[in-house]
Amino acid sequence: MSFSSLYAGIITDINGFTSVFVDQLATKVGDMIITASNGTLDGSPVSFTITIGPDAPVEMLLADGEGQSSEVGTAFSKAVKVLIFDQYRNAVPDVLVNFQLTGGSASLSPNMVLTDSDGAAESTVIPNAAGNITVTATATISGVPTSATFNLISTAPAP
């Protein structure tokens, strides 16, 4: 990540120190390198790195696993998966997501999981009986419980 800015005429204090307020670092997660230079001083330029993390979570999206079909006793081919983003569409890690069976008969593993570095949380679903299965993923987004619902279908095993 890089951007360029020029602060001309910055003056040092009595101890030779100066400071600049960087009011807008960036909207994307990553490292930003700041370089200060003065053509007449030894050791110039001086660089340091600021690591920018994600903002608070504001959005949860269904990412995978919706609308699948599987036989009783056989895990659905894809885990049910949600993604959590901040206001700048950066993935937000370490958000607790609770997966809950809200319809039908199935087992979930895991039931509670933290989002990974990609903002993803997922759970494997294994149907216990034929019929419609509903799984709800819930996380606290902007201080409010927010849910995403997955609809799955389980069929009886072939005779």
Q: Which domains does the chain have, with CATH numbers?
A: 1-53 (no CATH), 57-155 (2.60.40.10)
pLDDT of residue 99: 98
pLDDT of residue 34: 77
- With 0-12 / 13-18 / 19 or more C-beta atoms within 10 angstroms meaning exposed / middle / buried, residue 133 is buried
- 96-108: average pLDDT: 98
Q: What is the DSSP string of the chain?
A: -------TT----TTS------S---SSSEEEEEEE--TTSTT-SEEEEEEE----EEEEEEEE-TT-EEETTS--SS-EEEEEEETTS-B--S-EEEEEEEESSEEEE-SEEE--TTSEEEEEEEESSSEEEEEEEEEEETTEEEEEEEEEEEEPPP-
- 152-157: average pLDDT: 96
pLDDT of residue 79: 98
- With 0-12 / 13-18 / 19 or more C-beta atoms within 10 angstroms meaning exposed / middle / buried, residue 5 is exposed
pLDDT of residue 45 exceeding 80:
yes
In the chain, the amino acid numbered 27 is T
User: How confident is residue 75, by pLDDT bands cut at 50, 70 and 90?
Assistant: very high
* pTM of the shown model: 0.80
pLDDT of residue 118 exceeding 90:
yes
User: How confident is residue 18, by pLDDT bands cut at 50, 70 and 90?
Assistant: confident
User: Which phi and psi angles does 122 have, rounded to 5°?
Assistant: -145, 160
